[in-house]
Amino acid sequence: MSMKYGTVHTIWANAGLDFTSIMKANVKAIILAGVYTLQSNRSRFKKYEVSAICPLCIADIEDTEHSPLQCSSTDTVRRPFITKLRTLLCDIDHEIENLVFSNKSVLLKVILDVSSPQISISIQAILLMEKIEAISTGVVYALHHRRCAKLDLASS
Ligand SMILES: [Zn+2]
């Protein structure tokens, strides 16, 4: 997570003040901080006595890339947000869209932390970051909500 002393991270700078917006931003902040409990974390924490396989699709290890970008079980949740993000970037600059969507780690970075120094400065224009933040916070929360519902966990 990129943080500068004395500044508010873009997650919070772009979060609304209502309870739902704060809850959505909180889920994203937990994921970004690396403390969201995915199956790969559980497996590591339990000394590999628990499987790291995604409990939703049973097709791959559930880690920080699989869950937001690849899990087939949450495709229908993810797709509209990704389409919206792609359209937004394409409308700004087709090269930026290609840059983001040709590299999964860049796409993941844009979704989880668009303010990261690893992201092209052309994407970090204030108004564009606000729009990206709104889309990415929405998809992260929607995926979290779907995951909790499928695993019968209380969504918090
Ligand atoms: Zn999965």
| Average pLDDT of span 113-141 | 90
Q: Determine the distance separating the centroid of ligand 1 and the alpha carbon of 134, expressed in angstroms.
A: 24
Cβ atoms of 62 and 44 closer than 8 Å: no
Confidence of residue 2 (pLDDT cuts 50, 70, 90): low
Residues in a beta bridge with 53: 61
Q: Determine the distance separating the centroid of ligand 1 and the alpha carbon of 122, expressed in angstroms.
A: 32
Q: Determine the distance separating the centroid of ligand 1 and the alpha carbon of 111, expressed in angstroms.
A: 18
The two tokens of residue 80 are 């509209």
Per-residue model confidence (pLDDT) at position 156: 44
Higher-confidence residue: 154 or 62? 62
Q: 116's torsion region: left (phi>0), alpha (psi -120 to 50) or beta?
A: beta
Which one, of 14, 32, 28, lies nearest residue 137 by Cα? Answer: 28
CA distances from 131 to 17, 22, 54, 56, 66 (A): 17, 17, 30, 29, 24
Confidence of residue 138 (pLDDT cuts 50, 70, 90): very high
The two tokens of residue 50 are 């628990």
Per-residue model confidence (pLDDT) at position 120: 83
| Average pLDDT of span 17-30 | 94
Q: Determine the distance separating the centroid of ligand 1 and the alpha carbon of 52, expressed in angstroms.
A: 11
Q: Determine the distance separating the centroid of ligand 1 and the alpha carbon of 60, expressed in angstroms.
A: 6
Mean pLDDT, the chain, whole residue set = 91
| Average pLDDT of span 14-39 | 92
Confidence of residue 155 (pLDDT cuts 50, 70, 90): very low
Per-residue model confidence (pLDDT) at position 153: 76
Which one, of 44, 45, 108, lies nearest residue 71 by Cα? Answer: 108
Per-residue model confidence (pLDDT) at position 150: 93
Per-residue model confidence (pLDDT) at position 107: 96
Q: Convert 81-106 to b/e letters by CB count within 10 Å (16 or more is b).
A: bbebbeebbeebeeebbebbbeeeeb
Q: Determine the distance separating the centroid of ligand 1 and the alpha carbon of 71, expressed in angstroms.
A: 4
pLDDT at 36 over 80: yes
Q: Determine the distance separating the centroid of ligand 1 and the alpha carbon of 139, expressed in angstroms.
A: 15
The two tokens of residue 144 are 């979290």
Q: What are the boundaries of each domain within the chain?
A: 15-150
Q: Determine the distance separating the centroid of ligand 1 and the alpha carbon of 73, expressed in angstroms.
A: 6
Instruction: Please count the other Cβ atoms lying within 10 Å of the Cβ belonging to residue 13.
Output: 14
% of residues, the chain, pLDDT over 90: 72
Q: Determine the distance separating the centroid of ligand 1 and the alpha carbon of 58, expressed in angstroms.
A: 6
Higher-confidence residue: 17 or 86? 86
Q: Determine the distance separating the centroid of ligand 1 and the alpha carbon of 67, expressed in angstroms.
A: 6
Rounded distance between C-alpha atoms, residue 151 and residue 48, angstroms: 20
